[in-house]
């Protein structure tokens, strides 16, 4: 069954435009509640990021859930991975996050977690959508759900994060700049690192409902780079609006992206206790990451873009680590979803154990130059059936051999064909990508 509302990361859109309207979210809460309420009075935990629209959507969502007979525990502003953890900690039937992640403040969305802290199965999302087509009917007064605010949700999550480091590992002596993106980690991330012994300088930690992800956080690291230099910090940590992404900055102001972070954690794990199962990246993960992992004699798997698909491959191959270039890093023996704070702690532990600064650690991976060209199309092209395109790809792959790779895929949201070529030489890579792009333009 094709889903009408749920995408790969829940439901998302512009506030005031369907479906991000109070009436739809009210009905969505009711529909989700009807699916969950088949087992009596279930408990649902709700967290949100710092967008001004979160209050409105939270009120509508809880009204719908209560009308379906569901009990609610409100967590307040809380990172997405914290909601995944607290769903399990409170033995809740489900968890819901009101957030649009790294998007601007005037977007918002809803993401659902199952009782195990994982994304809802497709079948459950389809069942919720089926209830959305039915008439809204409130349960009797005696069956209405109740709402209460969770006590010390932030403190619970802080302690959970701290347990990601052994008790004999301290961050004392490290000066860390933490960019909270004016988002959901503003009141937890600085405390995690400082309580573990680090000297913390927090920036973008004063949310006003409108400044989430605004020239800050994991998608805009210039301010963090400047702060690392200004405060002579050892490392910079950039989280996004809902705390599930991580980008780091070393003491030389260089950016350390998700591929490099994943490589650092994998190499540290391998040296510490071996790395069983392998590592999962995506189709867009840099070839340097794949070669770095395979050099450990450890399998490397590629998933479709999206943390949902990364987690699917991790489960399929029983991999402890997975992630995306954008900074979604899943450390499966600690958390069921991407968690920027947990991932940062793994890198900081590698720095502690090795005695090496971040700019030395990231040398475990040599990043290949990558050229990406978006080719607009007037019509849908079946890439595997176009002889000229396939011939152009074949010629480039022959020229690159094992020195690079080619990725050709249609955008899922725009009339575009994305042409990506990686290789050892940036000039050659750019020229070869243009050769394929020209063949695509001729066919489009």
Q: What CATH number is attached to the domain comprising 82?
A: 3.40.120.10
Residue 166 forms part of a structural domain: no
pLDDT score for 412: 64
Residue 62 forms part of a structural domain: yes
Domain residues for the domain of 388 are: 370-443
Model pTM score: 0.93
d(C-alpha 174, C-alpha 352), whole Å: 9
Which has the minimum average pLDDT: 115-124, 148-157, 320-329? Answer: 115-124
Q: Each residue of 37-89: pLDDT tens digit?
A: 876 679 999 999 999 999 999 999 999 999 999 999 999 999 999 999 999 99
Domain boundary among 135, 152, 169: 152
Q: Each residue of 155-185: pLDDT tens digit?
A: 999 999 999 999 999 999 999 999 999 999 9
- How many domains does the chain contain in total? 2
Mean pLDDT, the chain, whole residue set: 95
Catalytic residues: 101
Q: Each residue of 361-400: pLDDT tens digit?
A: 999 999 999 999 999 988 778 888 899 999 999 999 999 9
Q: Each residue of 245-298: pLDDT tens digit?
A: 999 999 999 999 999 999 999 999 999 988 888 999 999 999 999 999 999 999
Residue 64 forms part of a structural domain: yes
Domain boundary among 108, 130, 152: 152
């Amino acid at each position: 069954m094709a889903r009408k509302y749920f995408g790969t990361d829940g439901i998302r859109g512009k506030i005031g435009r369907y479906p991000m309207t109070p009436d739809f979210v009210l009905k969505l809460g009711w529909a989700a509640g009807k699916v969950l309420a088949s087992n009596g009075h279930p408990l649902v935990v709700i967290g949100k990021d710092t967008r001004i629209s979160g209050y409105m959507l939270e009120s509508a969502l809880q009204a719908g859930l209560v009308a379906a007979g569901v009990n609610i525990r409100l967590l307040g502003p809380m990172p997405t991975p914290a909601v995944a953890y607290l769903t399990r900690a409170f033995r809740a039937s489900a968890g819901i996050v009101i957030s649009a992640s790294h998007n601007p403040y005037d977007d918002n969305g809803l993401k659902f977690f199952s009782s195990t802290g994982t994304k809802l199965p497709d079948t459950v999302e389809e069942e919720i959508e089926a209830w959305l087509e039915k008439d809204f009917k409130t349960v009797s007064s005696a069956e209405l759900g109740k709402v209460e605010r969770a006590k010390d949700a932030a403190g619970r999550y802080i302690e959970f994060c701290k347990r990601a480091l052994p008790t004999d590992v301290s961050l004392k002596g490290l000066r860390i700049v933490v960019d909270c993106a004016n988002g959901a980690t503003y009141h937890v991330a600085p405390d995690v690192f400082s309580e573990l012994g680090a000297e913390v300088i927090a920036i973008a930690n004063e949310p006003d409902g409108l400044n989430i992800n605004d020239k800050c956080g994991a998608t805009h690291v210039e301010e963090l780079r400047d702060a690392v230099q200004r405060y002579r910090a050892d490392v910079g940590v950039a989280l996004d609006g809902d705390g599930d992404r991580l980008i780091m900055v070393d003491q030389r102001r260089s950016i350390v992206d998700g591929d490099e972070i994943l490589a650092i954690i994998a190499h540290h794990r391998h040296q510490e206790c071996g790395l069983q199962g392998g590592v999962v990246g995506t189709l867009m993960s840099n070839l340097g990451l794949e070669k770095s992992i395979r050099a450990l004699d450890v399998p490397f798997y590629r998933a479709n873009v999206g943390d949902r698909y990364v987690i699917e491959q991790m489960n399929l191959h029983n991999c402890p680590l997975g992630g995306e270039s954008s900074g979604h890093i899943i450390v499966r023996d600690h958390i069921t979803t991407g968690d920027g704070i947990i991932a940062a702690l793994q890198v900081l532990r590698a720095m502690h154990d090795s005695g090496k600064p971040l700019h030395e650690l990231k040398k475990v991976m040599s990043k290949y130059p990558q050229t990406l060209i978006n080719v607009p199309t007037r019509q849908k092209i079946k890439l595997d059936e176009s002889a000229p395109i396939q011939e152009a790809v074949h010629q480039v792959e022959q020229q690159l051999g094992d020195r690079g790779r080619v990725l050709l895929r249609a955008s899922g949201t725009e009339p575009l064909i994305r042409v990506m070529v990686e290789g050892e030489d940036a000039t050659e890579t750019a020229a070869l990508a243009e050769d394929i792009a020209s063949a695509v333009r001729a066919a489009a």
